[in-house]
A and B are shown apart, each in its own frame.
Chain A
Amino acid sequence: MATTFGETPFIRKKRRDEAIVRVVLGLMALAMVVPLLLIVGYLVERAWPLLSLDFVFTNPTHGMREGGVWSALLGTLYLVSVSLLIAAPVGVLAAVYLNEYAKKSWLTRIINLAVVNLAGVPSIVHALFGLGAFVLFAGMGRSILAASLTLAIMTLPVIIASTKEALAAVPLSFREACWNVGATRWQTIRGIVLPNSISGILTGVILQVSRAAGETAPIMFTGAVFFKRIEEGNPFAYSLSDQCMALSMHLFTITTQVTDAPKALPYATAVVLLGSVLLVNACAILLRLRLRARKKW
């Protein structure tokens, strides 16, 4: 265009503004991303002297001033798996209801609003709820079960949202074809809709795991303890009615309560927690990218 009409000052100014805006906005986006890389790099560098497989697989000792994170890591694994077992079926079925059964009505509107609000409830309020409902009212006491139930309800919206998205991505024509050969609604869901959206559903489940693993506030008063001695190397050292340690809680404890721990210890704990959460998230991202590349419709 410029060659046809020549460069008037007006067009030059337009071009210059455009270039400036692009750079400024780009820097703003980078300003969000660069701290992530810097911080992760800094944490890893400070943690480096302690990071080893031994650190992961030994128990904390000497009032949490030495040793590793095994009992906390195992506790987190328990909490995450139990909460996943509860949240995944309920969340997936809730999304199936919203996407496959619900009509556009006030009820659906309210359910969607409730899902958004459930996601917005502060984590500490979830903790109060878990304490009031599961620990005290249901009589579970402070236990892995009570903490996992609290985590499950807290992370439910994550699963519902991504499953709904995955289900909505299956074209309506798939369902219509199935209905037309006489399948019932549930047969269609089981035979056509779920198999075609399974990767998307898995992504949501993985994100739930990452969310549940990092949470501290909801488990603080419902089942996680500062310190608990367990047998090293035994993956079945906790039972559902036990209290347990958790990685996130452990990081909080050694940062704020244990003042004379070696400098690298909290960094190493933070790196183990951050590393596991980011690894889980990376799995979800890879799964999504593969799914997109493979998509048939």
Chain B
Amino acid sequence: MNLPPAPVAGTRPLSVSTGSPRGPRRSRAAVLGESVLEWVIRLCGISAILFVFGIFFFVLREGVGFLFGGLKLGEFFFSTEWYPTSLSNVRYGVLALIVGTFSVTGLAMLIAVPFGLGAAIFVSEFCSDRWREGLKILIELLAAIPSVVWGFIGISVMNPLIQEVFHVPVGLNVLNGALLLALMSVPIMVSIGEDALKAVPDSFREASLAMGATRWQTVRRVLLPAAKNGLLAAILLGVGRAVGETMAVLMATGHAVNIPKSPFDPVRTLTATIAAELGEASVGSPHYQVLFIIGILLFTITFAVNLVADLVVKGTAKG
């Protein structure tokens, strides 16, 4: 991306393959092979687009029958009653699940945003090279911990800890999930936030320091305003990661369909519902199809968040 654009057709070197009078001819097979290969490369290049459309298409395909035949959208979005396996009165209201997802994500962001941005500023502006290397490696390792291990940590470490500290009977709740999600989304905020601060030209820093400002004044008055779009994108990508996280919240949030009144209430998220119930729903049943519709909902939310993050970053590039 940072590379200057590759030479365009006009500046491309005279290819040997056209058979210039001087120089050896390449065999027809070699020329053909190379053009086939270039088509393969182009195909791989656009594969990401194909996959994103493929995901949308195939998830929608499994759920579309019920989406347009039987599902009451009003009930789906505005009812908190999720009884997909009820024999007498089946109800598919995901409001409680949406609220569950956003309560965990919201609390996680309350913790992660200050720490993530603080750490990004420290790593980028305040620390010596050796510390920076060490911290970045540790943060990278933090990002590598699998989500199922986080879920296990939620059950085995956070659960008793929360019971102990806050004197609540059960430690599997919004707070537990939020702490895990905060630890999981901080690395991405630090690395993207640091990139955003790095992208501010050094001349900005030099000008500010030359005026007698301290480093902190420089950060607050010069760097933060200059890098604000990149930092916003860092936060948004953290949000996207938290909304889509599955295993950790499945294991740590208590698994009760519930509108939480305090951080110590258990909830269930959109992702956890799919993971917990897909195995039991028979293929093609309304319950199964509703889970795919929830998948489309999740896809749409994360797609929107990532799109906005991308537009925000491109905004900086232009400005």
Which residue numbers of A lie inside 8 Å of B, CB to CB? 14-15, 17-18, 21-22, 24-26, 28-29, 31-33, 35-37, 39, 42-43, 46, 89-91, 93-94, 96-104, 107, 110-118, 120-129, 131-133, 136-137, 153, 156-157, 160, 164, 167-168, 172, 175, 179-180, 182-187, 210-211, 213-217, 220-221, 248-249, 251-252, 255-256, 266-267, 270, 273-274, 277-278, 281-282, 285
Give the distance to chain A from B286, nearest Cβ to Cβ, in Å. Answer: 16
Give the distance to chain B from A219, nearest Cβ to Cβ, in Å. Answer: 11
Please determine whether B214 and A277 come into contact, CB atoms closer than 8 angstroms. Answer: no
Please determine whether B118 and A29 come into contact, CB atoms closer than 8 angstroms. Answer: yes
Instruction: Give bound CA distance, A42 to B299, whole Å.
Output: 36
Which residue numbers of B lie inside 8 Å of A, CB to CB? 1-8, 12-17, 23, 34, 37-38, 40-42, 44-49, 51-52, 54-55, 58-59, 61-62, 114-116, 118-119, 121-123, 126-127, 135, 137-142, 144-149, 151-153, 155-157, 183, 186-187, 190, 214-217, 237, 240-241, 243-247, 251, 271, 274-275, 278-279, 283, 291-292, 295, 298-299, 302-303, 305-307, 309-310
Contacts of A252 in B (CB 8 A): 148, 151, 247, 251
Please determine whether A220 and B275 come into contact, CB atoms closer than 8 angstroms. Answer: yes
Please name 11 pairs of A and B residues whose Cβ atoms are closer than 8 Å in the assembled complex, sorted by A. A33-B138, A33-B139, A46-B156, A103-B5, A112-B1, A126-B55, A128-B59, A129-B58, A132-B59, A187-B34, A255-B155
Please determine whether B149 and A214 come into contact, CB atoms closer than 8 angstroms. Answer: yes
Contacts of A164 in B (CB 8 A): 1
Please determine whether B244 and A186 come into contact, CB atoms closer than 8 angstroms. Answer: no
Please determine whether B146 and A213 come into contact, CB atoms closer than 8 angstroms. Answer: yes
Instruction: Give bound CA distance, A267 to B157, whole Å.
Output: 11
Number of A-B residue pairs at CB separation under 8 A: 300
Instruction: Give bound CA distance, A149 to B2, whole Å.
Output: 31
Please determine whether A128 and B62 come into contact, CB atoms closer than 8 angstroms. Answer: yes
Instruction: Give bound CA distance, A153 to B127, whole Å.
Output: 38
Instruction: Give bound CA distance, A270 to B152, whole Å.
Output: 8
For residue B134, which residue of chain A has the nearest CB?
A33
For residue B133, which residue of chain A has the nearest CB?
A289
Contacts of A278 in B (CB 8 A): 141, 144-145
Give the distance to chain A from B175, nearest Cβ to Cβ, in Å. Answer: 15
Select which of A22, A107, A217 is within 8 A of B275 by beta carbon: A217
Please determine whether B214 and A17 come into contact, CB atoms closer than 8 angstroms. Answer: yes
For residue B2, which residue of chain A has the nearest CB?
A168
Give the distance to chain A from B7, nearest Cβ to Cβ, in Å. Answer: 7
16 additional contacts (CB under 8 A) given A124-B295, A252-B151? A22-B216, A28-B118, A89-B44, A101-B6, A101-B45, A117-B302, A121-B303, A123-B147, A129-B54, A132-B59, A132-B62, A133-B54, A214-B145, A256-B251, A278-B144, A285-B137
Contacts of B309 in A (CB 8 A): 116
Please determine whether A120 and B146 come into contact, CB atoms closer than 8 angstroms. Answer: no
Please determine whether A36 and B59 come into contact, CB atoms closer than 8 angstroms. Answer: no
Given the interface pairs A32-B115, A252-B151, the reply to whether A281 lies near B141 with Cβ below 8 Å is: yes
Instruction: Give bound CA distance, A14 to B220, whole Å.
Output: 14
Please determine whether A215 and B146 come into contact, CB atoms closer than 8 angstroms. Answer: yes
Contacts of A255 in B (CB 8 A): 151-152, 155-156, 251
Given the interface pairs A101-B38, A186-B38, A214-B146, the reply to whether A114 lies near B240 with Cβ below 8 Å is: no
Select which of A32, A97, A183 is within 8 A of B45 by beta carbon: A97
Given the interface pairs A32-B186, A42-B157, the reply to whether A121 lies near B244 with Cβ below 8 Å is: yes
Contacts of B137 in A (CB 8 A): 285
Given the interface pairs A32-B139, A252-B251, the reply to whether A114 lies near B52 with Cβ below 8 Å is: yes
Select which of B5, B8, B62, B279 is within 8 A of A220 by beta carbon: B279
A-B CB proximity, top 7 nearest: A214-B146, A122-B244, A97-B45, A28-B118, A93-B44, A25-B122, A132-B58
Contacts of A110 in B (CB 8 A): 49
Give the distance to chain B from A259, nearest Cβ to Cβ, in Å. Answer: 12
Give the distance to chain B from A85, nearest Cβ to Cβ, in Å. Answer: 15
Given the interface pairs A213-B146, A248-B146, the reply to whether A93 lies near B122 with Cβ below 8 Å is: no
Please determine whether B149 and A270 come into contact, CB atoms closer than 8 angstroms. Answer: yes
For residue B245, which residue of chain A has the nearest CB?
A122
Please determine whether A32 and B142 come into contact, CB atoms closer than 8 angstroms. Answer: yes
For residue B158, which residue of chain A has the nearest CB?
A39
